[in-house]
DNA sequence: AACTTTTTAGACAGTCTTGTCTAATTCGTC
DNA sequence: GACGAATTAGACAAGACTGTCTAAAAAGTT
């Protein structure tokens, strides 16, 4: 209910393996039940640990929650950056390569455990406790997005794209990639591999219609117009 | 914890005004605190009503929650349809008209009380209790989106747009309109009027770059290419 | 093997919440 | 004003949960 004082995370004590297993279990429980509904006994049981050990490691429920957020944030950002490093800087077939990249992004950051958990935690507590997610905002959207924007800018500079505002293009790319995933995601449903790749392909196609090289767009358009 | 049996909503009893004020208060409390964290006494106090009256009207906490979901769903869909009726069917300046439409959509469905509440409720309970939101899925995305798609299809037929898959275009339009709003939305921040309109304008510009009439796109592109 | 740290099980007080019950009061309507 | 329905305040039992404490067991180290 408070988080008033700086929500320090307790310094590592005891065995790190248990510490991590507690955080993993707590993440699952907090996401399933919400902060108020989460039960420390359940966390302990799910972590295969006694309740007292949970308290030894993390002090109290709020500190445990803060530790979970920090942990998930870190892993999520790491994963995002790792996917980012597979961006097609020298594309052979830009549309195909971007589609593959979009699918990897989906798989890692949206359907992945960490991504889902982080999103749920933010939705549940972001409004009431924005402090907890400041790290994420700084490192996540703040850095990942601008890194993606830099990649797009490079593609544009190399003549593969026509982009005036790379940051905007990056955000719109991510939004388009999410279009078909959002609703199923909300209800815990999954998309088949084919659906995912079809969705990614549609997103990339639209993105390229908007940001593809002008002369190519012009050529394609003229061609189609002539046909009609 | 259950919602196992069909979560019937109690038939209206007592004074409708109080009934509604209870639902309004409950909506606010459920959204702030989550289902588990919500306190019936608090709902009663916020509604200006005694606890017993809450129970008289809505049976128990779960039925109250179901009633809140039903209420918000209905109002949210009504609002969406009402905004939809302002779609620019005979646009004078397509870009400007679509931008205004996008802003109205934002104002009504995203920043509005009902929209925020519904989104939070879905995020909090959608995975655990999808039954509760089936009405929304059927009437919301299912109907509003396809209505929007129909509007786009008409614009395309009239020669204002070049769209092969109107449903997809509608979904992508909504996604683009949301790009800049999502993060601030998560943390309860608001965007100034100017920021909102700038965001809407950017979304519409990209949308039209992707779906604008081919011959116009071609003309613009050729022009720019020639300049360079 | 001796010693220290960590973990465990369980009990425990204190708090909070839900949902029910009762008796008194107010409201709406005829 | 009189009557029945709706509302109120408050008490209440039953249960759940947090966070602490203790004594014993287990694990890890030298």
Q: Where are the domains of chain A?
A: 70-227
CA of B53 to C1' of D6 (A): 9
Pull the structure tokens for residue B88. Answer: 């620019």
Higher pLDDT among residues A5 and A146, named by residue? A146
Per-residue pLDDT at B2 exceeds 70: no
Give the per-residue pLDDT at B214. 75
Give the per-residue pLDDT at B115. 95
Average pLDDT over residues A79-108: 96
Model confidence at A14, pLDDT cuts 50, 70, 90, reads low
What is the CATH code for B76-227? 1.10.357.10
ipTM: 0.89
Range name among A4-8, A174-178, B18-22, B133-137 with the lowest pLDDT average: A4-8
Chain B residue closest in CA terms to A32 = B128
Burial of A75 (0-12, 13-18, 19+ CB in 10 A): middle
- Does A36 contact B37 at a Cβ distance shorter than 8 Å? yes
Average pLDDT over residues A102-111: 94
Q: For chain A, which residues lie within 8 Å of any Cβ of chain B, measuring from their own Cβ?
A: 32-37, 120, 122-124, 126-128, 130, 133, 137, 141, 165, 168, 171-172, 175-176, 178-180, 183, 186-188, 202-203, 206-207, 209-211, 214-215, 217-218, 221-222, 224-225
Model confidence at B6, pLDDT cuts 50, 70, 90, reads very low
CA of B105 to C1' of C1 (A): 76
Which nucleotide's C1' atom has the smallest distance to the CA of B15? D6
Strand C closer than 7 Å to the CB of A123? no
- Nearest by CB to B187, from A32, A130, A211: name it: A130
Chain A residue closest in CA terms to B140 = A183
Q: What is the mean pLDDT of chain B?
A: 91
Pull the structure tokens for residue A30. Answer: 């907090």
Which nucleotide's C1' atom has the smallest distance to the CA of B17? D6
> Buried b vs exposed e over B178-190: b needs ≥16 C-beta within 10 Å?
bbbbebebbeeee
Model confidence at B17, pLDDT cuts 50, 70, 90, reads confident
CA-CA distance, B27 to B47, in Å (whole number)? 11
pLDDT in tens, B126-161: 999 999 999 999 999 999 999 999 999 999 999 999
- Nearest by CB to A34, from B37, B168, B222: name it: B37
Chain B residue closest in CA terms to A127 = B187
Strand C closer than 7 Å to the CB of B32? no
- Does B130 contact A187 at a Cβ distance shorter than 8 Å? yes
Per-residue pLDDT at B35 exceeds 80: yes
Q: Are B46 and B84 in contact (CB under 8 A)?
A: no
Give the per-residue pLDDT at B9. 55
Give the per-residue pLDDT at A4. 40
Q: Which of A18, A2, A203, A217 is nearest to A103 (CA)?
A: A203
B contacts of A134 (beta carbons < 8 Å): none
Pull the structure tokens for residue B227. Answer: 């300049």
How many inter-chain contacts (A to B, CB under 8 Å) are there?
Answer: 117
> Partners of B161 in the beta sheet?
B212
- Does B179 contact A186 at a Cβ distance shorter than 8 Å? no
pLDDT in tens, B166-194: 999 999 999 999 999 999 999 999 999 99
Average pLDDT over residues A51-69: 96
Average pLDDT over residues A79-103: 97
Average pLDDT over residues B105-126: 95
In chain B, the N- to C-terminal Cα span, in Å, equals: 65
Per-residue pLDDT at B220 exceeds 90: no
Average pLDDT over residues A19-28: 96
- What is residue A161's three-state secondary structure? strand
- Does A127 contact B187 at a Cβ distance shorter than 8 Å? yes
Higher pLDDT among residues A224 and B116, named by residue? B116
What is the CATH code for A70-227? 1.10.357.10
Strand C closer than 7 Å to the CB of B52? yes
- Nearest by CB to B187, from A33, A126, A210: name it: A126
Strand C closer than 7 Å to the CB of B156? no
Q: What is the mean pLDDT of chain A?
A: 91
Mutate to test the interface with A, among B113, B133, B175 (most CBs of A within 10 A): B175
Per-residue pLDDT at B13 exceeds 70: no
Model confidence at A225, pLDDT cuts 50, 70, 90, reads low
């Amino acid at each position: 209910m408070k988080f008033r004082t700086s929500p320090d995370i307790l310094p590592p004590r005891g065995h790190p393996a248990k510490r991590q297993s507690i955080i993993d279990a707590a993440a699952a429980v907090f996401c399933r039940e919400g902060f108020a509904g989460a039960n420390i006994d359940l966390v302990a049981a799910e972590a295969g640990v006694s309740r007292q050990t949970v308290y030894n490691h993390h002090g109290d429920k709020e500190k445990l929650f803060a530790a979970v957020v920090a942990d998930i944030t870190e892993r999520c950002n790491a994963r995002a950056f790792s996917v980012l490093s597979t961006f097609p800087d020298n594309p052979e077939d830009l549309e195909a390569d971007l589609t593959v990249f979009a699918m990897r992004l989906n798989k890692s950051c949206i359907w992945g455990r960490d991504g889902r958990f982080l999103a749920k935690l933010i939705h549940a507590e972001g409004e009431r406790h924005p402090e907890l997610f400041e790290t994420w905002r700084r490192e996540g959207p703040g850095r990942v997005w601008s890194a993606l924007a830099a990649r797009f800018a490079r593609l544009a500079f190399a003549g593969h794209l026509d982009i005036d505002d790379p940051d905007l293009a990056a955000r719109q790319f991510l939004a388009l990639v999410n279009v078909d995933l959002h609703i199923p995601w909300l209800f815990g449903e999954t998309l088949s591999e084919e659906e995912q790749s079809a969705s990614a392909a549609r997103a990339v196609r639209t993105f390229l219609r908007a940001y593809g090289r002008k002369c190519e767009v012009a050529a394609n358009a003229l061609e189609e117009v002539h046909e009609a």
